Each structure stands twice: as C-alpha cells, then as structure tokens.
Amino acid sequence: YLAGRLAGRRTPVKAALLDQRLIAGLGNIYVCEALHRAGLSPRRPAGTLATRAGGPTASARRLAGIIREVLEEAVAAGGSSLRDYAHTDGSLGYFQHTFRVYDREGEPCPTPGCGSAVRRLVQSGRSTFYCGVCQR
C-alpha cells in the first residue's frame, strides 16, 4: 500500500508521509522517528520507494514495518506529551522519552558507532530532525 501511494512522487518522502490525503494518521514526530530507524533521508524522493511497476522496494517494506512499530510503541507509551498535550484524564504520555532524533538537534546520533550530530531542517513548514550520516 505504501509504495503504491508514493509511486511516481518526486516530493520528499517526509512531506509525502505527512500528506493526510496519501496516508492518514502519521504525524511529524512519528515520521521523523520512523525515517531515522529505517535509515532513510527525509529529503529522498518519495517515488524511490516504489519500483517502476509500482511495487514496494526493500526500503518501502522496511519503512512500513518500522512505521507500525513506532506507532505501536507510541500508543503503548500513551503518546508524546509536548508543551500542552495531555490525555482527557490529565495523564501524560511518555513516548517523548524514547525519541531518537525528534527535537534533539545538535545531540549525537543514537545509532551505535555513528556519533554524528542530529540535524534540523524545515520541510513544508515543519521541523525535520535527522542524521545526515545514517539516513540516506
């Protein structure tokens, strides 16, 4: 499904994943975290995750599984509590304690053996956090 939605798109994969018309429900934090875990640059053209026939590449298969993992971990942790977010009962989420790259600009990349600094750029008006070494 993911590859089919991204096939032929030249827009950066980060912007495509945030486009609710293509794939609903993915937010900025979870896309940054998933792309880092998958080792994919947020600047990579979205269409490169699909074969010429529109099928999934190995990277697309890996990313789809990682997106599921990130979302499952976030739900289990109660989401992310940043600034003013809280559940209806007032409790806070704790997923922000496991962020690898989101809001960690200048900190070392958490990938073992990397140590490169996490970078920040703005895409489609949103902050994108990534490792320029690990994410290609």
CA distances (Å), 76 to each of 17, 93, 133, in order? 22, 9, 30
Element (H, E) at 29: helix 28-38
Contact 41, 136 (CB under 8 A): yes
Contact 57, 90 (CB under 8 A): no
pLDDT by residue, tens only, the chain of 136 residues: 999 999 999 999 999 999 999 999 999 999 999 999 999 999 999 999 999 999 999 999 999 999 999 999 988 888 776 555 555 676 667 788 889 999 999 999 999 999 899 999 999 899 999 999 999 9
Query: Which residues neighbour 13 within 8 Å (Cβ) at sequence distance 6 or greater?
Result: 6, 35, 40, 41, 42, 43, 44, 45, 46, 48, 49
